[in-house]
Amino acid sequence: MTLYSLFIASHIIGTILGAGAATFAEIFVIKALKDGVVEPLESDYLKTIYTVLRVGLIVAVISGFGFLFLYRIQGLEGLIYETKLWAKLTVVMILLINAIMLQARKIPLLWGSAISFTSWYTAVFLGLFRGISAPYFEILAWYVLAIVAVGFVLDKIHNHFGVKI
């Protein structure tokens, strides 16, 4: 197994864990808040999901930097300045800031969830569709629109299931 294969496999696994955990976090938050009270078992499940999400994030970040290291030593430094990469890094930064804001209760749960969910799937999307060559600000504009759209959809879902925040 080459270093490249190791980084690819790790990055995919990290992203699967992270995006998967972010998805299940939404589902379990809705289930837990249907009655307005988070029971100890529900809290325990959520803590486990968030742990998996953090593991996924750290694996994805380290393996991602692993690729960039390979670009550096293989003479492909130009790829490090690609707009898609910096858009992805910006999304990861927003994800990290969002997590801090949620932890500090400085952002409503609805919008924090929308940002988290959208950020993970944006990272998946940018990784899957390698041919994307849009400018940095265009990618971010679509990302912000996606957050707003996901926010409204989540709000509808919360209302449908009677989620009390």
Does residue 85 come out as left (phi exceeding 0), alpha (psi in the -120 to 50 range) or beta? Answer: alpha
Nearer to other proteins, 106 or 160 (CB): 106
Nearer to other proteins, 59 or 150 (CB): 59
6 touching other proteins, by CB under 8 A: no
Which span (12-20, 32-40, 59-67, 107-115) binds other proteins, by CB under 8 A? Answer: 59-67
Q: Closest Cα partner for 64 from 32, 88, 41, 37?
A: 88
Residues in contact with other proteins, shown as a per-residue x/- string from 100 to 119 under the rule CB under 8 A: x--xx---------------
Separation between Cα atoms, residue 151 and residue 108, nearest integer Å: 11
Which span (16-24, 31-39, 56-64, 144-152) binds other proteins, by CB under 8 A? Answer: 56-64
Sole binder of other proteins in the list 13, 30, 46, 68 (CB under 8 A):
68
How many other CB atoms are found less than 10 A from the CB of residue 154? 21
Sole binder of other proteins in the list 66, 83, 124, 142 (CB under 8 A):
66
14 contacts: CB under 8 Å, gap ≥ 6: 55, 56, 57, 58, 59, 60, 61, 62, 63
CB-count burial class (<10 Å; 0-12, 13-18, 19+) for 110: middle
- Judged by the rule CB under 8 A, the positions of this chain that interact with other proteins are 54, 58, 61-62, 65-66, 68-69, 71-73, 75, 77-78, 80-81, 89, 93, 96, 99-100, 103-104
